[in-house]
Amino acid sequence: MKHLIQLFMVLVFLILTCVYSTQNESNFQLSKFKAKLSISNALREHPDGTLPRREMETKLVVEGAPELLKNNSFLLETMKKSIEGALTNEIQWFAPKYFNSTYTISPIGLGTFCFLDIYLDSPDFINERLNISHRVRYRWHSRGAFLKYMLGSDAPQNFPHRCEYQVKTDRDEKVEGFYCSNETRFEFRNESFPFKRDNSAPLPPWSFEEFILPAIHGRFRGYFSTSAFEYARFLSRVEPNRSEIELSPSLLLVMTRRRIHLNLPTALGETGSALGLGSPTNINQAMIVTLDTSEVFSPELLNLYSFTRAIKKRNLLTKRLLKRLKGEFLPLGTFTEIEFEFERNIESALHKEMNSPQSASILDKLRDTESAFLKDEKLVSSIVSESLRSLGLQVFPTDTSKYRKGCSILRNPNSHQSVLLLPKRYNQ
């Protein structure tokens, strides 16, 4: 009898898998997430959203024993202690001298976030070739909530709590491990434009069916996103003969992120917040150190999201089937990175002043301030590198974007060792 039940469940699973592949009324096919952007039409729009900024970032790759890399809580605590020790030597820091203040580590932000980055590209991977990052980013408070949501949960506690479009262009790799790029965002939250004007941001969960396509064609409600506009403007400059482009999901990164925030009270932070250039809650934050573990998946993982919802409507999403479907969360490869960057409020406000008409003396002071922050960014990266090397890990600078690295793993899945970060309850 037991074997007959098992056989029946296998048959049900095979039938559902067939439905998964062929059901026309459901959003299983990735073509559902395909759209075109008219470049010429986009450039005639009046975009709305978060203003573009110049991102300046230092990035390191961390490699070593998988059991150590999986313990990101321990790694973050090691990094935090090394920075705390270095902050006691105030004379070695540069930026605080310009603001008559000192760095401190923020008590918030040390928790874990889970991100799903849905990268968009053309059939010939123009974004990979031009080193563009064009993505829809979702954020959850925990990895467990993300997994439950992908496997059909409609409980509000498992919804993502952030959704935004991000486009990064003009990536300029200055020196090994340090690069600049132009970053533009369109954020679905009331703290950011355009929704800041009337608190009209759409509520979670921002379904894939509704929110992926506007990232491509640029239109949401009556707005045209700054992210699509800046993407079109960049393409018109580097490929002037291209009139439109078709994009669809090309790669998925599931990222576990932990952060350390360095606070430094400045007038720049207040200015940036008032202008809507960054988060209103991060006025005193000056630098962000992030520990990222990224797992690479093919875009077909989106089918799992649609599949579980379709069979749930038919009351066929059994515990046994859920257990089988959890097996889809095996990454093609994994990599660990640490990023160091200005907080958006300070960076955006500083560059806004630098790009405005100024006297020579004021402009020199602004440039010196920027240089001071960059020196501190480099110093923190050096301190963190040494702390992790003391654990036996290899730490070295990288110039490769997450998207390009993910594409490389997608084509060569055996080139990177997978470090699966599923909660224990999902490995049973």
Chain mean position to CA 162? 11
Q: Which pLDDT belongs to residue 415?
A: 58
Nearest 5°: the CA angle 152, 158, 163 is 100
Tell me, yes or no, whether 12 lies in a domain: no
Residues 296/334, Cβ–Cβ less than 8 Å: yes
Q: Which pLDDT belongs to residue 107?
A: 85
Query: Of 65, 52, 20, nearest to 278 (Cα)?
Result: 52
**CA 378, 382, 387, 391 torsion: positive or negative?**
positive
Residues 175/41, Cβ–Cβ less than 8 Å: no
Tell me, yes or no, whether 120 lies in a domain: yes
Q: Which pLDDT belongs to residue 345?
A: 86
Instruction: List the beta bridge partners of residue 262.
Output: 105, 287
Total domains, the chain = 1
Residues 116/254, Cβ–Cβ less than 8 Å: yes
Q: Extract the tokens encoding 253.
A: 């990164």
How far is the CA of 52 from the CAs of 121, 184, 269, in angstroms?
21, 4, 17
Residues 381/58, Cβ–Cβ less than 8 Å: yes
Contacts 24+ apart (CB under 8 A), 391-395: 391/64, 391/68, 391/75, 391/78, 392/64, 392/65, 392/68, 393/62, 393/63, 393/64, 393/65, 393/68, 393/69, 394/62, 394/63, 394/64, 395/60, 395/61, 395/62, 395/338
Q: What percent of the chain has pLDDT over 90?
A: 75
Locus of tokens 């902050």: 87
Q: Which pLDDT belongs to residue 109?
A: 66
The C-alpha atoms of residue 83 and residue 421 are separated, in whole angstroms, by: 26
Query: Of 338, 234, 249, nearest to 292 (Cα)?
Result: 338
> What domain range is 124 assigned to?
30-426
Tell me, yes or no, whether 11 lies in a domain: no
How far is the CA of 247 from the CAs of 208, 311, 327, in angstroms?
15, 28, 28
Query: Of 382, 362, 376, nearest to 262 (Cα)?
Result: 376
Tell me, yes or no, whether 23 lies in a domain: no
Please name the amino acid found at residue 169.
Answer: T
Segments in the chain below pLDDT 70:
1-29, 109-110, 414-428
Locus of tokens 């990175």: 337
Locus of tokens 């820091």: 93
The C-alpha atoms of residue 93 and residue 380 are separated, in whole angstroms, by: 10
The C-alpha atoms of residue 111 and residue 161 are separated, in whole angstroms, by: 15
Instruction: List the beta bridge partners of residue 50.
Output: 185
Q: Extract the tokens encoding 18.
A: 């067939």
Tell me, yes or no, whether 50 lies in a domain: yes
Instruction: List the beta bridge partners of residue 61.
Output: 337, 396
How many CB atoms lie under 10 A from the CB of residue 58?
24
The 3-class SS string of 69-117 reads HCCHHHHHHHHHHHHHHHHCCHHHCCHHHHCCCCCEECCCCCCEEEEEE
Q: Which pLDDT belongs to residue 31?
A: 84
Tell me, yes or no, whether 21 lies in a domain: no
Tell me, yes or no, whether 171 lies in a domain: yes
CATH number for position 123: 2.40.320.10
Residues 380/287, Cβ–Cβ less than 8 Å: yes
Tell me, yes or no, whether 276 lies in a domain: yes
Query: Of 135, 185, 183, 169, nearest to 237 (Cα)?
Result: 169
Query: Of 127, 207, 135, nearest to 166 (Cα)?
Result: 135
Query: Of 358, 357, 353, 330, nearest to 421 (Cα)?
Result: 330
Give 31: exposed, middle or buried? Use CB within 10 Å, 0-12, 13-18, 19+.
exposed
The C-alpha atoms of residue 243 and residue 342 are separated, in whole angstroms, by: 36
